[in-house]
Structure formats: structure tokens, C-alpha cells
Structure 1
Amino acid sequence: MRPMLIGAPTIEPVSLTDMKAWLREDGGDEDQLIQALIVSARMTLEAYTRRFFVTQSWRITLNAWPLDALMLSIPFAPFQAVSAIRIFDANDMAQTLAPISYRAPPASDGARVTFKSAPPAPGRSVDGIEIDFSVGYGASASGTPEPLRRAMMVLVAHWREKRGDDVNDVLPKSVIQLAAPFRRERLS
């Protein structure tokens, strides 16, 4: 399974205005830096929690269906919806499965796509299956749980203060405490 981002978030869970208020920053000299730190904090905390904060679109590619071809797990959370499932034949022509042929209900810890009948096998051996889907807590910043938004603010403030001077290369304890309840553990 190879994931690819196909539609980045259109907003951040923490706005520049909110972040500047948190930092007690009045001027505009560091707006570009603060905005970059907001994006970096979101991405860092998404990786730490293994959750996506605001709506974004992803694509996974598979070489073949799993052994149980009637069910496919998509380990992205919180899962919103499948937008398309395409299967490529030997001539690289895509066949899009009809949405009525599968079910993928929203789920907080990843999706289980179930098929009414076994989907057709791909005709090409590499990346023969593409699945496009959306994940995230929602399209607005307010959909992201407040502790995760607060963790982002604390992390941005920490990075701005330290400016790369921190030799300890771990997340600050306060950030971990805020984000830990949302962290999805690995099964393997």
C-alpha cells in the first residue's frame, strides 16, 4: 500500500490570527515564519497521533486485493468517505467501481470497505488498484479537537522560542500530554 496526498487541507486547525494572539505577537514581521510553523506543527502532530486533523484527500495504490477480497482496511483516521475505486486492466485502462458495489462508512479509527461481491482482479501487476478517499475531523478548524489545537499552539510557541537551539529532539512534554489521548497505536 502506497499512500499519496492528492488534496491538501484548505485550512489549518489553528489560524495565524489565533496563533499570534497565543504568542502575544502584534507585528506582522514574523507572519510567514509563524504560518510555516503552524503547518509544520500540524504535520508533526498528525504523524505522532496517526490522525489527520482537517479534511484532506488521499490515494492508496495496491498491487492486488487482500486475501479476503470482500473486505479492505484503510488505516487512515478519522475516515470520512471513499470518493473512487479504480481497477486497471492489462492495457492500463481504468474501470471505476460503482459506489453501490461497496460500503465504506465513516469511522474514527480507519475504514473497512466491504464489497457486495469480489471486485475484479487488476490486469496490471503494479499499482493495479487505486482508492481515493477523504480523512480528517472536518472541513472547519473547529472540527479538530481542542486539545490537538492547543498542542499545535504549544509546539509552535516552543519552536519559535527555541529557533533550532534545542538539542533535545523530542516533542515537549506538554505537547505529548495534550496529544497522547488521540494517539493511535500500531498493532504490529
Structure 2
Amino acid sequence: MSLTLITAPVGEPLTLAEIKFFLRVAHDTDDSLITDLAEAARGQVEAVTGLALMTQGWRLTLDRWPTEPVTLLRPPVQSVTSVSVQGTDGIWTELDEGDYALIPGYPARVLLKAPPPSPGIAAGGIRIDFTAGFGDADAVPGTLKQAMRLLTAHYHEHRTPASERRVTTLPNSVGALLAPWREVRL
């Protein structure tokens, strides 16, 4: 099983102006750096929580069909775009939309309504493409945006190479903001 980003988000949850205001930066000299730090902060928030913040496209690849509904591991899931199976001839066949249903939730699941065709190859013969994310920047919860602000500020203040300073975990304030959003794994 693998999860692959197919379509990256078209924007960021916070604008450059919002981040510069939070950082109290009035000049334009570091705009490129601040933009990169904010993008890194979004990536870290998504990695820690397992969420997709802005609308983005994902592909879940499976080797075989599970006996339970298929769990989509990048919430919140907006929709399933397609479900495809590769045959022995190498051709991908897309299932009809009526053959599966999205079960919303955290995590969302895909329920197959009828026995699906078996993949014709041993590895990676099933693809489920889906759209995930809260939507646009206005739909991203404020606690996640605040975690991004704090993390961007942390990155901005600690720009020394990691070899010259002790590498630490997330700042406590960021960890506290992200804690309710983390998926607990056993």
C-alpha cells in the first residue's frame, strides 16, 4: 500500500502578508525565505497530523482488495475521483461510480458495493484517486493556522544549520495545538 500526492495544493493556508505581520517583518528582503518557511511549516503540520490542509489530489495504491472497506489515510476526504484496477494485459479499467461509495469520517473509507475485479498483477494493481483537504485557506481551522504561524516563526528565528545547534522536536506550543488533530496509531 502506498499513498502518493497527485495534485499539490494551489495555495497556502496563510498568505505572505499574514505571516510577515505575525513575524513583524516590514521589509521585502526575506519574502522568498519566509514563503519557503511557511510552506515547510504547512508540510510539517500535515506530516504530524496526517491531514491535508488545502484541497489536493491523492492516490492510494493497493496490491489486493481488503476484506473491510478501504481506509483513505489523508483526511479530510472530499470525494473519490476514481477507482481503477489493472488487468493482466496492463490496461487500467475504471470502476463505475455506482460500484463504490465514500463513507465520510475520520478516516474516510471506500465501500465496494459489489465484488470488484481482481488485479492482474501482484503489486500495485489497484488505484483509488481521491481529493482531500479542508478546502481553501478560509476553511482551514484556526488552530492549524496558528501552529503554522508559530512553526514558521520558529524556523525564522532558528536559521542556523542543524549541525551547529541541537536538533529538537516541535516547540511545545505547536505540539499542543496539533495534539487534538493527531491520529493515534496502535
Count, aligned residues: 183
Q: CA RMSD in A?
A: 1.3
* 2:47 aligned residue: 47
CA-CA distance at 1:106 after TM superposition: 3.3
For 1:124, which of 121, 124, 134 is the aligned residue? 121
For 1:158, which of 149, 154, 160 is the aligned residue? 154
CA-CA distance at 1:182 after TM superposition: 1.3
For 1:133, which of 121, 126, 130 is the aligned residue? 130
- After superposition, the C-alpha distances for 1:149-178 in whole angstroms (9 at most, x for unaligned) are 011001111110111365242110111111
- Partner of 2:115, secondary structure, is coil
* 2:56 aligned residue: 56
Calculate percent identity across the aligned residue pairs: 37
- After superposition, the C-alpha distances for 1:115-142 in whole angstroms (9 at most, x for unaligned) are 211111011112111110011111x111
Q: State the distance in 2 between where 1:177 and 1:19 align.
A: 20
* 2:13 aligned residue: 13
- Partner of 2:59, secondary structure, is strand
* 1:85 aligned residue: 83
Contact 1:76–1:135 under 8 Å retained in 2: yes
Contact 1:88–1:95 under 8 Å retained in 2: yes
TM-score, normalization: structure 1? 0.93
TM-score, normalization: structure 2? 0.94
Amino acid at match of 2:92: A
Amino acid at match of 1:6: I
**Structure 1 gap ranges (5+):** none
Contact 1:81–1:105 under 8 Å retained in 2: no
Q: State the distance in 1 between where 2:108 and 2:117 align.
A: 20
After TM superposition, the runs of 4+ consecutive aligned structure 1 residues lying more than 3 A away are none
**Structure 2 gap ranges (5+):** none
Q: State the distance in 1 between where 2:165 and 2:59 align.
A: 36
Q: State the distance in 1 between where 2:70 and 2:178 align.
A: 28
